[in-house]
Structure 1
Amino acid sequence: MDNYEQKLSIKAWAEADRPREKLLLQGRRQLTDAELIAILIGSGNRIETAVDLSKRILGFYQNDLTKVAKLSVKELSKFKGIGEAKALAIVAALELGRRRKETEMQRRQKIDSSRDAYLILKAEFEDLPHEEFWVLLLNRANFVMSKQFISKGGQSGTVVDPKIIFKIAIENNAASIVLAHNHPSGNLKASSADISITKKLVQSGLLLEIPIYDHLIITDHSYLSLADEGLM
């Protein structure tokens, strides 16, 4: 009979085993990733509880939250039982987690090394499936004035317009600049195009008396400094 084939709904579980009740009784740290996602989506489908559905999504991505955080609303909605509203809830929650990490990193705002710049910029590139180009604008004491988005591209490149970069720098009275873009593939090798545009921007910066101190290539787990590698 169908009743025997279908799983028990969460409401039929012992109270201590329900994700929401478990969070209230035992605290958020006692919940599994699947149980936390189950709270976000609220309900499953005809044959799965919210927890089972969450386990299926996580299992599809090798239980790697970093991979799940990269998913779009459209990609999440491909799972049976995940409509647009549930997908939006998951994406929003994971984005809040990313922004929390970004806020923590922003406490250190002076740039004394490539790693300082990386720690400030890396949150902007986490979980992106495409390339983006950003700049750090610094004052004369090497304190960060602001982070500025420059362009968005595809999986293997993005267009960089020197006029836009230096227009932003001049408008914000920046004394110097740090460039950064990501490689979604995880490859930390600087391409010939990366090196070429960097040298072009460095020369332009010298003419405008706005020096470029570094160009970082950032992946989800590490970075490469063209300045440190002598590629500028």
Structure 2
Amino acid sequence: MKENQSSFSIKNWSINDRPREKLLSKGKEFLSDAELIAILIGSGSRNESAVELSKRILASVDNQLNELGKMNITQLSKFKGIGEAKAIGIIAAMELGRRRRGEETPDKFKIRSSKDVFELMQPRIGELPHEEFWIIYLNNSNAVLQTLQLSKGGITGTLVDVRLVLKQALELNATAMILAHNHPSGTLKASEADKDITQKIKNAAGSMDIKLLDHLIVTEKTYFSFADEGLL
């Protein structure tokens, strides 16, 4: 019986099949998602290797890393072999990956379409469980000067101070702006409140010769553009 249980240990695998050794000898790109997670958690349980445990966790979210990134400590800890410390390790790694995608864009990144805005903002707000309202400030070549979180709200809404929007635009000498906020519900329909704040900011910015180019509603996988839909 002891021999059978020990066979689940990665230490008994061929060196070429062990995740850490495989990364060292072949490189990170040769590891599967499960093998990378196995390195994070370090060990499995008495009856299951770290890799098999990782495969089971991934299977529970249809092998989607985005969905894994949404799991909390309680959900992860339901898997035998995953305690609080291992759950925290997985969550921290997922968050680092999300932040890496959402790092500030390189200097002179130019906005050419609503798709560019979505690709810029989705890593920041597309998967959040609450609403956030952001402003993208641009120069006269539509190059990004700054992306700024203006407010953070609850599940159903967030507050926007038009004065803060314009104050930052003037400090940056921005000539154009794009608004962006997320809908945690996944709904792409613009609410009356969304339309009202868009018009309010457009009118206020226009009085200072600052153009409002677009307003995007961002979800995990897609977006709604006010400009594309003729609402500006």
Q: Taking structure 1 as the reference length, what is the TM-score of the superposition?
A: 0.84
Q: State which drifts further: 133-142 or 15-24.
A: 15-24
Rounded Cα–Cα distance in structure 2 between residues aligned with 1:9 and 1:52: 10
Please say if 1:229 is aligned against 2:229. Answer: yes
8 A Cα contact 2:19 2:39, kept in partner: yes
Aligned amino acid, residue 192 of structure 1: E
Q: State which drifts further: 7-16 or 73-82.
A: 73-82
Please say if 1:17 is aligned against 2:20. Answer: no
Match of 2:175 in 1: 175
Secondary structure at the aligned position of 1:193 is classed as helix
Match of 1:67 in 2: 67
Rounded Cα–Cα distance in structure 1 between residues aligned with 2:73 and 2:209: 44
Match of 1:184 in 2: 184
Give runs of aligned pairs for residues 55-204 of structure 1, distance below 5 A. Answer: 55-73=55-73, 75-102=75-102, 106=106, 109-204=109-204
Aligned amino acid, residue 154 of structure 1: G
Q: What is the CA-CA distance between 1:38 and the residue it aligns to?
A: 0.5
With over 3 angstroms needed to count, the CA separation of the structure-2 counterparts of 1:23 and 1:112, relative to structure 1, is closer
Q: What is the CA-CA distance between 1:57 and the residue it aligns to?
A: 1.6
Q: State which drifts further: 77-86 or 46-55.
A: 77-86
Q: Can you give the 5+ residue segments of structure 1 that lack an aligned partner in the other structure? A: none
With over 3 angstroms needed to count, the CA separation of the structure-2 counterparts of 1:200 and 1:131, relative to structure 1, is same
Match of 2:216 in 1: 216
Deviations 1:20-72 (A, max 9, x none): 12223333233221111000111223443222221222122111111112234
With over 3 angstroms needed to count, the CA separation of the structure-2 counterparts of 1:29 and 1:218, relative to structure 1, is same
8 A Cα contact 1:110 1:143, kept in partner: yes
Q: State which drifts further: 183-192 or 98-107.
A: 98-107
With over 3 angstroms needed to count, the CA separation of the structure-2 counterparts of 1:88 and 1:5, relative to structure 1, is closer
Q: What is the CA-CA distance between 1:136 and the residue it aligns to?
A: 0.4
Deviations 1:67-126 (A, max 9, x none): 112234554345443344323332333334334444596476122332332232222124
The aligned length equals 232
Q: What is the CA-CA distance between 1:176 and the residue it aligns to?
A: 2.1
Q: What is the CA-CA distance between 1:144 and the residue it aligns to?
A: 1.0
Aligned amino acid, residue 16 of structure 2: A
Considering only aligned residues, what root-mean-square deviation do their CA atoms show, in Å?
2.7
Rounded Cα–Cα distance in structure 2 between residues aligned with 1:226 and 1:62: 33
Rounded Cα–Cα distance in structure 2 between residues aligned with 1:77 and 1:173: 50
Q: State which drifts further: 86-95 or 38-47.
A: 86-95
Rounded Cα–Cα distance in structure 2 between residues aligned with 1:72 and 1:172: 39
8 A Cα contact 1:23 1:31, kept in partner: yes
8 A Cα contact 1:216 1:226, kept in partner: yes
Identity across the alignment (%)? 52
Deviations 1:137-176 (A, max 9, x none): 1123322111101122233322222233223323333222
Q: What is the CA-CA distance between 1:132 and the residue it aligns to?
A: 1.5
Deviations 1:177-232 (A, max 9, x none): 11001123332222222112211221222234433211011122222210121112
Match of 2:52 in 1: 52
Q: Can you give the 5+ residue segments of structure 2 that lack an aligned partner in the other structure? A: none
Rounded Cα–Cα distance in structure 1 between residues aligned with 2:205 and 2:141: 18
Rounded Cα–Cα distance in structure 2 between residues aligned with 1:25 and 1:113: 43
8 A Cα contact 1:134 1:180, kept in partner: yes
